[in-house]
Structure 1
Amino acid sequence: MNKKNKVLFKTALLSISLVLTSASAISAIIPMMLNQLSGVSSSLIESVVTIPSFTMMLFVLLSGPISSRLGKKNTVMLGLLLVVIGGILPMFTTNITWILALRLVLGAGLGMFNSLAVSLISDFFEGDERAQLVGFQSAVQGLGSSLATFVAGQLALIDWKFAFLCYAITIPVALLFFFIIPEPERVEPTAERSTGTGHKSGGVSIPVLGLGAALFLFMTFIMIVYTKTGIMIAEKNMPNPGFLGTALTLFSLATMIAGFLFGKIYKWFRNYAPFISSLLTATGFVLLWFAQNVTMVTIAMLIIGFSFALFIPYIFTILTKIVPKGSETISISIAMVGSNLGAFASPYVIKLVGMLFGNETASFSFLVSAIVFTIAALICLGIAIRGKGSKVQAAVHS
C-alpha cells in the first residue's frame, strides 16, 4: 500500500468515529425542550441525551456475535444505517415517547460499531502505529462531536427540532467506509495466557472488568457536562445563555486536540496518564461549581474536554495490549458496556445523590463530580506508584 492510499485508508477507517460520540451533540436543546414540553419531567428530557447509551450498551455486547455472522464491515454499515434513521427522524415529532424510541435506535446503531471502531485498528495496524491511531480515533470522535454539536446548535436557533439534522454527517461517512475498507481477515482467539497476577487473559478477565468499571464511574460523572451545564446557566441567570452551544463545541474541540496529542502524552507519562486526567477533570468541575459567567464555564469545559480525551484512549490502548489476539472485540465490548451504562445511568445516579444530600441543583452535581474525580486521582496515583509488574503495568511499559 503506497503512502497516498494508506492515508486514504486510515481516513476511511477513522471516519466512522466521527459519529461515535454524537449522541450528546443535541445537548444544547435540553433547556428549549424543558420550556416547550412543560408537562415532561426534567430527568426524562435529560434522558434524550443519555438514553442512547442504553441500547449502545446492549448492542456493543451483541456486535461480536453479529459481526461473526455478518462480518465486521457489514456490521458497521448496518450500524451507520440505524444512526441515520434514529438520528434524523426525531426532528419530525414533538412526542417525547417517539423521540426517546428513535434515540434508542440511534444508540443501537452506534453500539453496533462502537467496539469495532477500535478493534478494526488492531486488525490492520500494530505497535506504535496502532497506539497512535487509537489516539487519533479519540481525536476524530472529538472532531465529530464538535462538528455535530456546532451544527446542532446553529440549527437549533431556527427550531430545536432541526438540531437532529446534524446526524446527516453519517451519510458521507458510510459511503467512504463502504468503498475503501475491506473485510478484515478472521482471526481465531489465541490460547489464554497467564497475566502474572494469577488471572487468565481471555476476553473476560479481572483487568478487563476493572477497566470497564473505571469507565462506568468516569462516564457517570462526566455526562453531567452535557445534561447539567445548561440548567446551571439558567439557575445562575448568566448572561448570554445561548453561548452554551459554542461552549459545548469548544469542549469537543478540546477532546480532539487531546486525542491527537495522546500518543506523545502516553509516551511521556505512561501509567500516570489516568492520574493527570482525573486531576484535570476535578479541577474543571471545581471551576464549573464556582462559575458565575459563560467565560468561566467555557474555560472549565475546555479543561474537562482535554482531560476526558486522555483517559478514554489510555483505557483502550491498555485493553488492546493485555488481551490475546482475536479477543480484542469482546474485551473492548465489555469496556464499552461500562462506559455506556455509566452514561445511561448518569441522570438517575446524580438525582439520587442530590436527593440523599438534599441538594438537587446543577451546581451541587458539579461539586460532587469534583470530589469523585479528586478521589479517583488519588487512587490512580497510588496505583501508578505501587505498580509491581502486573499485566496492566507491564502492558503500559511495553
Structure 2
Amino acid sequence: MSFVYFNAIMPAQTNGALVIMQLKMSNQAFFSTSLSIAGIAGALVTSLYGKIYKIFRHYTPVFIMALGVVGYLGMVHSKNMLMYTLFMIIATSTSLIFPYIYGAVMEDVPASAKDFTLSIAKVFNNFGAFLSPYTMAFTAQLLGKHDAVSIFNIAAGYMVFIGIVFIVLALLRNANNHKEIKKVSVH
C-alpha cells in the first residue's frame, strides 16, 4: 500500500505550485514556505501515532486516509495561501501511515527477515514516488482531465481507494480475531 500511498501524496509537492496558479491565489511566493511548514508539521504529527492508534486501532489507516482526502479537497477549494497551507498540513499528516504499515509488516515477519523486508518496503515507497507523475497523468488521461486541480482530486481518489482497502483489511482482521477467540473458548 505504500506504493499507492506515494502515488497519492507526491502531487502535493509536484503539482502544488500549478494548483495555486490555477486557483489564481495571491501570495503564490509563499508556496515554498507552505511546503516547508507542512513537511515539518507532518513530521510532528507522526509523533502522535501511538495516541491515535489507541483510539482507532486497525482503523487508523482509514482515519489517516480520510485526513488526506480532506487535505486535498481543502487545498483545491482554498481561497488564500493560509487556508491552502492549513489543508496541506492536513494532507501531509498522512505520513502517520508509515508507523502503521511498518508495524503491520514487521509483526508477521521472522526476525531474520526484518531487514530485508524493510528494504523491500522502502523500494516500494521510492518506486511509488518515482512513478507518481506518470500514474497521475495516466489516470487523468483516462478521466479526460488534464489540469492541476484535477490531479489533486485524483490523488484524493487514490486515498479513498487506500482507505477502502484498509477498511476491508481491518474487517478481515476483526473477523479472524473473533474466530480465534471462539476457537480458544471452545477448547
- Name the TM-score, length of structure 2 as normaliser: 0.87
Partner of 1:329: 115
Aligned-residue offset at 1:271: 0.8
Q: Larger relative contact order (C-alpha < 8 A, sep ≥ 6)? A: 2
CA distance in 2, matches of 1:296, 1:304: 12
Aligned-residue offset at 1:309: 2.1
CA distance in 2, matches of 1:218, 1:378: 13
1:366 to 146, 152, 165: 152
Partner of 2:55: 268
CA distance in 1, matches of 2:139, 2:170: 29
1:230 to 13, 17, 22: 17
2:65 is the counterpart of 1:293: no
CA distance in 2, matches of 1:389, 1:328: 24
Give per-residue Cα distances to partners, 1:153-211, cap 9 Å, x unaligned: xxxxxxxxxxxxxxxxxxxxxxxxxxxxxxxxxxxxxxxxxxxxxxxxxxxxxxxxxxx
1:250 to 37, 56, 79: 37
Give per-residue Cα distances to partners, 1:91-118, cap 9 Å, x unaligned: xxxxxxxxxxxxxxxxxxxxxxxxxxxx
2:128 is the counterpart of 1:342: yes
Aligned-residue offset at 1:313: 1.3
2:56 is the counterpart of 1:309: no
Assess if the C-alpha contact under 8 Å between 2:64 and 2:96 holds in 1.
yes
State the AA in 2 paired with 1:312.
Answer: F
State the AA in 2 paired with 1:277.
Answer: I
Aligned-residue offset at 1:376: 2.4
Matches within 5 A, 1:1-398: 214-306=1-93, 308-387=94-173, 388-389=175-176
Aligned-residue offset at 1:373: 1.4
Assess if the C-alpha contact under 8 Å between 2:6 and 2:129 holds in 1.
yes
State the AA in 2 paired with 1:363.
Answer: V
Aligned-residue offset at 1:237: 2.2
CA distance in 1, matches of 2:145, 2:78: 18
Higher helix share: 2
Which ranges of structure 1 fall in alignment gaps of 5 or more residues? 1-213, 391-398
Aligned to 1:317, the other structure's residue is in SS state helix
Aligned-residue offset at 1:368: 0.9
State the AA in 1 paired with 2:150.
Answer: F
CA distance in 2, matches of 1:362, 1:294: 16
CA distance in 2, matches of 1:372, 1:220: 8
RMSD: 1.6
- Equivalenced residue count is 176
Aligned-residue offset at 1:347: 0.9
State the AA in 1 paired with 2:140.
Answer: G
CA distance in 1, matches of 2:162, 2:76: 18
CA distance in 2, matches of 1:303, 1:326: 37
Partner of 2:181: none
Give per-residue Cα distances to partners, 1:214-268, cap 9 Å, x unaligned: 1110001110000000111122221111111121112112222222111222233
- Name the TM-score, length of structure 1 as normaliser: 0.42
Residue identity over aligned pairs, in percent, reads 29
Aligned to 1:344, the other structure's residue is in SS state helix
Aligned to 1:326, the other structure's residue is in SS state helix
